[in-house]
Structure 1
Amino acid sequence: MFIYLNALFVGLLLLSNILAVKLFQIGEFILPGAAIVYVVTYLLTDVIGEVYGKNTARKTVQAGFITQLLAVFFIFIVVHLPAAPAFGLQSEFEQILGGSFRVIAASLLSYIASQHLDVSIFHRLRASHGEKKLWIRNNVSTMTSQLIDTSLFITIAFWGIVPLRVLLGMIVTQYIFKLIIAIIDTPFAYLLVKWARKLEAK
Structure 2
Amino acid sequence: MTFPVVWIYWAISLTIVTYAAAWMLNNRREYGYAALVAIYAVYLAASQILAARVVEFDIGIYVFIAPAAVFIYPFISQAIDMINEVYGMKRAQIAIFIAFITQVLLVIFFVMTNSLTPAPFFAYEEAWQEIFTFGIRLTVASWISFLITQTIDTRIFAGLKKRYEKRIILRSVSSDAVGLTLDSIIFVTIAFAGVAPLLPLIIGQIVAKNIIGFLDTPWFVWYKKMLEDKPAPPKDQTQ
* TM-score when normalising by structure 2: 0.76
Q: Deviation of residue 64 (structure 1)?
A: 1.0
- Alignment correspondent of 1:182: 213
- Alignment correspondent of 2:175: 141
Q: Deviation of residue 93 (structure 1)?
A: 2.4
Q: Deviation of residue 74 (structure 1)?
A: 0.9
Matching residue's letter, 2:84: G
Matching residue's letter, 2:50: L
* TM-score when normalising by structure 1: 0.89
Percent identity between matched residues is 31
CA shift digits 1:89-126 (9 cap, x unpaired): 22222333442543322111011100111001000101
Matched, 1:69 2:104: yes
Counterpart Cα distance in 2 of 1:90 and 1:128: 55
The counterpart of 2:95, out of the listed 60, 69, 72, is: 60
Counterpart Cα distance in 1 of 2:128 and 2:231: 43
- Alignment correspondent of 2:19: none
Q: Taking structure 1 as reference, are residues 196 and 71 closer, same or farther at Cα in structure 2, changes over 3 Å only? A: farther
Which stretch shifts more, 115-124 or 188-197?
A: 188-197
Q: Which stretches of structure 1, 4 residues or longer, exceed 6 Å deviation after superposition?
A: 199-202
Q: Taking structure 1 as reference, are residues 82 and 147 closer, same or farther at Cα in structure 2, changes over 3 Å only? A: same
CA shift digits 1:12-54 (9 cap, x unpaired): 1111111112222134212211110111010010011001111
The counterpart of 1:192, out of the listed 195, 203, 223, is: 223
Counterpart Cα distance in 1 of 2:230 and 2:164: 24
Counterpart Cα distance in 1 of 2:38 and 2:136: 26
Q: Deviation of residue 193 (structure 1)?
A: 2.6
Matched, 1:48 2:89: no
Matched, 1:173 2:204: yes
The counterpart of 1:88, out of the listed 120, 123, 135, is: 123
Counterpart Cα distance in 1 of 2:217 and 2:78: 8
Counterpart Cα distance in 1 of 2:127 and 2:193: 26
* Cα contact 1:106–1:157 (8 A) shared by 2: yes
* Cα contact 1:75–1:98 (8 A) shared by 2: no
The 5 Å alignment of 1:24-43 reads 24-27=55-58, 28-43=63-78
Partner-residue secondary structure (3-state), 1:83:
coil
Matching residue's letter, 1:138: S
* Cα contact 1:13–1:38 (8 A) shared by 2: yes
Matching residue's letter, 1:60: A
Matching residue's letter, 1:30: I
* Cα contact 1:118–1:145 (8 A) shared by 2: yes
Matching residue's letter, 2:158: H
Counterpart Cα distance in 2 of 1:169 and 1:86: 39
Counterpart Cα distance in 1 of 2:108 and 2:115: 11
Counterpart Cα distance in 2 of 1:119 and 1:82: 43
RMSD: 2.0
Matched, 1:157 2:191: yes
- Unmatched 5+ residue regions in structure 1? none
